[in-house]
Structure 1
Amino acid sequence: MTNSAWTSTPSGRMRARGLGLAFEGRPGPANAITDVPGVSVGYSTIISGDGPLVVGRGPVRTGVTAILPRPRQAIGEPVFAGFFSLNGNGELSGTHYIEEAGKFSLPVTITNTHSCGLARDATIRWAVRHFGARYSDTFSLPVAAETYDGFLNDINGFHVQDRHVFEAIDGAAGGSIEEGSVGGGTGMKCFGFKAGSGTASRLVEYGEETFTVGVFVQANFGTRRHLTVLGRNIGALPGLPEMQSGAPDRELSSIIAVVATDAPLLPHQLKRLARRVTFGVGRTGGLANHGSGDLFLAFSTANTGLGGAAAPRILTARYVPDEDMDPLFEAVAQATEEAILNSMIANETMTGRDRNVVPALPHGVTAG
């Protein structure tokens, strides 16, 4: 079974399944993190200028991605969450509180390294505007994450502003979403090819119930010679287009992954789920290099009423037994692998600052 949402993005960009790649597992309707009910994704993409870098003017190749864990009218209702750092040369804010309390409540934002703090703060400003007086005394530690786009982008020009964060959050929608050089993934590269934003999902059956696992990645990692597609190393093939560089920072790399599910899970189980992103990254050839920020977040939308002054003193949570989590672990690895490849395949060559060029992954080399 297949459908058009599995093979192309809303704008018609090719996805990995459109090339006939036979991934394991059964995707949801959109093969996206948005297959998890209530989860939505929005982008703000900033592209302007060409030629030599002039700090503060450009060229600009960056943006913001927002992932809303609950429907907009329910934002502020916590979700159980867990976090895992495979390699910590990066930033994902709010993780100390997630480690302590196992939950968060506001939109997740992903952007470039030097705009991560702004995205965090702007999310609070959005919440103050969105909730009004109801938010006047609320304590917030939003989740904001980053990867480095300085090879293509005027990263020290600080072109991401509050309005871009608001645009990404307010524009978040469900269903099929764009991939590639959009949102926070605009200026990113992976294994020496153009990459950025990618997503995939899997359906997992538990008796009479079917749960969804969705993964979203901002992929900006990997060494060319390690690139692997469905077990076949293609990064070392001769004749592949190379990056063209007039500036440094070719090797700085990271990957942010956000896992969403409607399976009822507790915080320690979501931390276990976040760890399994590692295997999806490894399937594509990622090795968590020293300079890589490989940071993974997982959350579940299943349990509600998890906190606040109005919550009862004793709460009851539903959850999958630890001993029955293997199908969810497998789904995370499968969806992560496909999301990374989608971020590369749904893309095209980009020229950025100082006429640095990151080539698109040639579709023909992915075939076995």
Structure 2
Amino acid sequence: MSSDLTQSPSRAHGLICGTLEPGPRNTITDIGGVSVGHRTLNTGDLRTGFTAIVPHPGNLFREKLPAAVEVINGFGKSAGLIQVDELGTLETPILLTNTFGVGTGVNALIRRSIAENPEIGRSTGTINPVVMECNDGYLSDIQAMALSEADAEAALNAAGSTVEQGSVGAGTGMSAFGFKGGIGTASRVFELGGRQHRLAALVLANFGRPGDLVLPDGRRPHPKEARQSEERGSVIVVLATDVPLESRQLKRIARRAGAGLARLGAFYGNGSGDIALAFSTAGRTAHFEESDFIARDVLREDKIDVLFQATAETTQESVLNAMIASPAMRGRGRSKRASLADWLRVQA
């Protein structure tokens, strides 16, 4: 693999998370069919946006994917997670945004799904939009409620194979460990059944107390201007893989995102909304299935450890990428966040 393609913001600073090899891009779009798009609002007192993860290029309502949710700490205001947990399927793209943008994202996904499937809510069931959030109110005027359905649609329409990281889309106004946070992603490759498979993560990083961050080499960065505070942030981890899995196995994998967060020094504080959603691009379920039974391949349980390892590694690296790719930022009022990349350059 080309080192240029797999180079990530963290790897550029010599920070290596784990031992598995990264995928060709070292992003979530290494999983075939997955695409990502952003809509960024960075003007005046606004530092916010939408990030869209499109799991496959087809009609997700008609061809659902196996999925699962793990709520590590439930201080969050997301939408659609109850049905994903109950039915084990994903039937819309995933939108990430700020806390007060969830309803707007829900409406955008509903309208998009109805446009593609006019029978929704008429001759068949309704749609389960999935929108997850973090609070960007420190750097952005969250009370402005500035995001529109057109912004959500723009993120969905921008989805492609290249994933911009850092202060973009939903990550524009986020903070992590007292530094600037944002959007980050990473992937891993491994062999199962004589074939190469992949697992990848994309995170919305907005969590962690200043001084708690632990780098892979053991250093503990602390931004000078950030004071120690309660853990009141949040982190969303979206995991994708091409390994055939059932929803129960995906939930086990999602749970291991917590291992990656813990490696960074997180302890999931009372006010932190830490949620992981995992899906597989293998084993689609047709909405209008005619058979009473569905035959599909499923991974042997005793072969799942490599996916657990990949989850921990990609989650850890994705958070570091989100932080390192984000430059220092000033926001609403006198708010500001330092860049972890600047701290690393000073220490080099």
TM-score by length of 1: 0.88
Alpha-carbon distance between aligned partners in 1 of 2:328 and 2:225, rounded to the nearest angstrom = 11
Which of the numbers 125, 128, 133 marks the counterpart of 2:118? 133
CA-CA distance at 1:364 after TM superposition: 5.2
Alpha-carbon distance between aligned partners in 2 of 1:280 and 1:231, rounded to the nearest angstrom = 15
The equivalent residue for 2:152 is 165
The amino acid across from 1:151 in the alignment is Y
Alpha-carbon distance between aligned partners in 1 of 2:6 and 2:253, rounded to the nearest angstrom = 24
CA-CA distance at 1:45 after TM superposition: 0.3
The equivalent residue for 2:37 is 42
Percent identity among equivalent residues? 37
The amino acid across from 1:5 in the alignment is L
The equivalent residue for 1:273 is 253
Q: Secondary structure at the match of 2:265?
A: coil
The equivalent residue for 1:204 is 190
Alpha-carbon distance between aligned partners in 2 of 1:289 and 1:76, rounded to the nearest angstrom = 39
The amino acid across from 2:147 in the alignment is V
The amino acid across from 1:19 in the alignment is H
Is the Cα contact below 8 Å between 1:243 and 1:357 reproduced in 2? no
Mark the runs of 5 or more structure 2 residues left unpaired by the alignment: none
Q: Which whole-Å deviations, capped at 9, do the CAs of 1:102-143 have from their partners, x for residues lacking one?
A: 1011100010011112111211112223x1535463511111
Alpha-carbon distance between aligned partners in 2 of 1:89 and 1:199, rounded to the nearest angstrom = 23
Q: Which whole-Å deviations, capped at 9, do the CAs of 1:81-105 have from their partners, x for residues lacking one?
A: 1110111101332121112111011
Q: Secondary structure at the match of 1:225?
A: coil
The equivalent residue for 1:242 is 225
The amino acid across from 1:146 in the alignment is E
Map 1:77-156 → 2, pairs under 5 A: 77-129=63-115, 131=116, 133-135=118-120, 137=122, 138-156=125-143
Where has structure 1 moved over 6 Å in runs of 4 or more?
A: none
Asked whether 1:16 is paired with 2:27, we answer no
Alpha-carbon distance between aligned partners in 2 of 1:73 and 1:3, rounded to the nearest angstrom = 35
Range moving further from structure 2, 133-142 or 156-165: 133-142
CA-CA distance at 1:230 after TM superposition: 0.5
The equivalent residue for 2:24 is 29
Alpha-carbon distance between aligned partners in 2 of 1:190 and 1:147, rounded to the nearest angstrom = 11
The equivalent residue for 2:322 is 343
Is the Cα contact below 8 Å between 2:60 and 2:93 reproduced in 1? no
Is the Cα contact below 8 Å between 2:187 and 2:198 reproduced in 1? yes
Alpha-carbon distance between aligned partners in 2 of 1:320 and 1:4, rounded to the nearest angstrom = 32
CA-CA distance at 1:211 after TM superposition: 1.0
Give the superposed CA RMSD: 1.9
The amino acid across from 2:131 in the alignment is A
Asked whether 1:312 is paired with 2:299, we answer no
Q: Secondary structure at the match of 2:292?
A: coil
Alpha-carbon distance between aligned partners in 2 of 1:109 and 1:132, rounded to the nearest angstrom = 19
Alpha-carbon distance between aligned partners in 1 of 2:61 and 2:287, rounded to the nearest angstrom = 13
Alpha-carbon distance between aligned partners in 2 of 1:349 and 1:243, rounded to the nearest angstrom = 13
Is the Cα contact below 8 Å between 1:19 and 1:363 reproduced in 2? no
Change (3 A) 1:251 1:323: closer
Alpha-carbon distance between aligned partners in 1 of 2:316 and 2:171, rounded to the nearest angstrom = 17
CA-CA distance at 1:344 after TM superposition: 0.4
CA-CA distance at 1:333 after TM superposition: 0.3
CA-CA distance at 1:38 after TM superposition: 0.6
Q: Secondary structure at the match of 1:232?
A: coil
Change (3 A) 1:44 1:365: same
Change (3 A) 1:215 1:205: same
TM-score by length of 2: 0.93
The amino acid across from 2:42 in the alignment is I
The amino acid across from 1:121 in the alignment is N
Q: Secondary structure at the match of 2:39?
A: strand
The amino acid across from 1:37 in the alignment is G
Asked whether 1:321 is paired with 2:300, we answer yes
Is the Cα contact below 8 Å between 2:31 and 2:240 reproduced in 1? yes
Is the Cα contact below 8 Å between 2:113 and 2:127 reproduced in 1? no
How many residues get paired? 343
Change (3 A) 1:267 1:209: same
Range moving further from structure 2, 115-124 or 91-100: 91-100
The amino acid across from 1:346 in the alignment is A
Q: Secondary structure at the match of 2:112?
A: helix
Alpha-carbon distance between aligned partners in 1 of 2:270 and 2:241, rounded to the nearest angstrom = 30
The amino acid across from 2:12 in the alignment is G
The equivalent residue for 2:264 is 284
Alpha-carbon distance between aligned partners in 1 of 2:305 and 2:77, rounded to the nearest angstrom = 29
The equivalent residue for 1:55 is none
Q: Secondary structure at the match of 2:211?
A: helix
Is the Cα contact below 8 Å between 1:231 and 1:283 reproduced in 2? no
CA-CA distance at 1:22 after TM superposition: 2.6
Alpha-carbon distance between aligned partners in 2 of 1:62 and 1:264, rounded to the nearest angstrom = 35
Is the Cα contact below 8 Å between 2:7 and 2:26 reproduced in 1? no
Is the Cα contact below 8 Å between 1:148 and 1:252 reproduced in 2? no
